[in-house]
């Protein structure tokens, strides 16, 4: 679609479809969305990548210029763009969608881009090789299984950071959130990583269902959570 054909209803429909996407169709869905993805998330003031980039930078103690970053579920490359602005230079991206990877390649920021369906294909990264591992926005029902969290920890270097974000959609059940918390805690209990920080944002992104309606400012936004862990020296 061209810019002129994008409407509030277009954005609302595609975001609803993203949240409800059948796991068997996730790759084709994101392939179709790739060209319009950045326009649509900008329309809802999506802050996940910005918040994650700031969270990582404020807790990273090494040299950003030398750090290797694995951007999981990289989409069209928003994280690499933002992290490059604060000095990070070495990016590898992974996404299930060929279309998204083609968009990411246009940024010229990734040293390598690899296609993999998270939770189905092995994560295409060598164990213990990344200073930062980040996965923004993929923690939602039917998108990636919690088993991927262990893979993210595995590919980080000892002492490396793992950053995750999650939108608090009104359609996401408390059971999902509780299951996620249990999985995060399990990896900590096993001594694989340690908790570094947690942040919540009340304005993670605009609620697409309220974009063209009269409502209070608070009701126009969806909240979100950020998790930051450090891989332990084992």
Single pTM value for the model = 0.92
Question: Could you tell me the pLDDT band of residue 2, with boundaries at 50, 70 and 90?
Answer: very low
- Mean local confidence (pLDDT), 13-31: 85
* Beta bridge mates, 208: none
Residue 213's pLDDT is what?
56
For 19, left (φ over 0), alpha (ψ -120 to 50), or beta?
Answer: alpha
- Mean local confidence (pLDDT), 108-126: 96
Question: Could you tell me the pLDDT band of residue 23, with boundaries at 50, 70 and 90?
Answer: confident
The closest of 200, 197, 57, 72 to 134, measured between CA atoms, is 72
Tokens 């390649």 identify what position? 105
- Mean local confidence (pLDDT), 204-227: 75
Question: Could you tell me the pLDDT band of residue 1, with boundaries at 50, 70 and 90?
Answer: very low
Residue 98's pLDDT is what?
97
CA distances from 4 to 17, 67, 92, 96, 99 (A): 21, 40, 33, 28, 21
Long-range contacts from 113-121, C-beta under 8 angstroms, 24+ separation: 113/74, 117/26, 117/27, 118/72, 118/73, 118/94, 118/143, 118/144, 118/145, 118/148, 118/151, 119/144, 119/145, 119/147, 119/148
Residue 5's pLDDT is what?
64
The closest of 50, 75, 58 to 203, measured between CA atoms, is 50
Question: Could you tell me the pLDDT band of residue 24, with boundaries at 50, 70 and 90?
Answer: confident
Question: Could you tell me the pLDDT band of residue 19, with boundaries at 50, 70 and 90?
Answer: confident
**d(Cα 29, Cα 96) in Å, to the nearest integer?**
10
* Angle, alpha carbons 105-111-116 (nearest 5°): 70
User: Which tens digits make up the pLDDT trace of 153-180?
Assistant: 999 999 999 999 998 866 666 888 899 9
Phi, psi of 28 (to 5 degrees): -65, -35
Residues 232, 205 contacting (CB under 8 angstroms): no
Q: What is the DSSP letter of 212?
A: T
- Mean local confidence (pLDDT), 82-104: 97
Q: What is the overall mean pLDDT for the chain?
A: 90
Residue 8's pLDDT is what?
76
Residue 168's pLDDT is what?
83
- Mean local confidence (pLDDT), 113-123: 94
């Amino acid at each position: 679609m061209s810019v002129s054909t994008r409407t509030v209803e277009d954005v609302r429909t595609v975001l609803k479809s993203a949240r409800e996407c059948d796991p068997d169709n996730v790759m084709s869905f994101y392939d179709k969305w790739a060209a319009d993805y950045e326009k649509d998330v900008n329309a809802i003031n999506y802050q996940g990548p910005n918040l994650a980039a700031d969270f990582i930078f404020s807790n990273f103690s090494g040299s950003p210029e030398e750090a290797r970053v694995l951007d999981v579920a990289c989409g069209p490359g928003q994280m690499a763009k933002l992290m490059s602005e604060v000095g990070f230079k070495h990016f590898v991206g992974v996404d299930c969608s060929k279309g998204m990877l083609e968009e990411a390649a246009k940024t010229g920021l990734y040293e390598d881009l690899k296609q993999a369906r998270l939770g189905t294909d092995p994560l295409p990264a060598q164990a213990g090789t990344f200073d930062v591992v980040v996965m923004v926005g993929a923690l939602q029902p039917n998108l990636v299984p919690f088993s991927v969290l262990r893979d993210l920890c595995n590919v980080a270097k000892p002492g490396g950071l793992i950053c995750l974000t999650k939108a608090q959609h009104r359609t996401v059940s408390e059971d999902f959130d509780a299951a996620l918390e249990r999985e995060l805690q399990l990896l900590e209990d096993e001594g694989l990583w340690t908790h570094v920080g947690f942040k919540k944002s009340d304005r993670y992104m605009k609620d697409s269902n309220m974009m063209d309606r009269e409502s209070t400012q608070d009701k126009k936004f969806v909240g979100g959570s950020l998790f930051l862990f450090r891989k332990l020296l084992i």
